[in-house]
Amino acid sequence: METLEKVLLMAVGVIILSSFLFWLIPNFMKINEYKEDNDTPIWDQTPTDQIIEYGEYFSYDVNASDFFGIDHYWINDTSNFYINNEGLIRSITILNVGEYWLEIRAYDPSDNFISAEIKITVNN
C-alpha cells in the first residue's frame, strides 16, 4: 500500500472516529438522564386550602410539571373524592359540614412524587 493511500485511510478513520465521538459525548449525557430520573415533579401552583358551602359539590384543579411528564395523580381520601389524570379533584357526593384533609400527590413515570396537604372546609 502506498504511503498516500495509508495517509488517506488514516484521515478517513480519524474523521469517522471523531464524528462518532462528537455524537457520543453529548448523547451519552442524555442517555444517562433518561436512565435515572431522581427529580420530583413540581407544583405549577401550590395547592391551597378550599372552602365550599354545604350542598355544593367540590371541584378543584391541581397541576404539576415534570421533565418526563406526569404519570398520574393520587389522593388519600377516595371514599369522598376522586382525582383524574389531569389533576381535577371532585367530591363523589355532597359533603357533610366539617373539615376534610386531603393529601395530594403527583407522580412522574419513575414513581418520583411531590405531595401537598390541603384542608377542605364545608360551611353551613
The average pLDDT across 74-87 equals 97
Closest CA to 74 of 45, 36, 47: 47
Q: Which of 17-31, 91-105, 108-122 has the lowest mean pLDDT?
A: 17-31
Q: Which of 18-22, 29-33, 71-75 has the lowest mean pLDDT?
A: 29-33
Q: Residue 36 has what pLDDT?
A: 76
Q: Residue 67 has what pLDDT?
A: 93
Element at 25 (helix H, strand E): helix 3-35
Alpha-carbon gap, residue 100 to 121, rounded angstroms: 6
Q: How confident is the model at residue 21 (pLDDT cuts 50, 70, 90)?
A: low
Question: 30: Cβ–Cβ under 8 A, 6 or more apart, which residues?
Answer: none
User: Cβ(62)–Cβ(75) under 8 Å?
Assistant: no
CATH no. for 42-123: 2.60.40.60
For the entire predicted model, the pTM comes to 0.70
The mean of the pLDDT values for the chain is 87
pLDDT at 90 over 80: yes
The average pLDDT across 114-122 equals 98
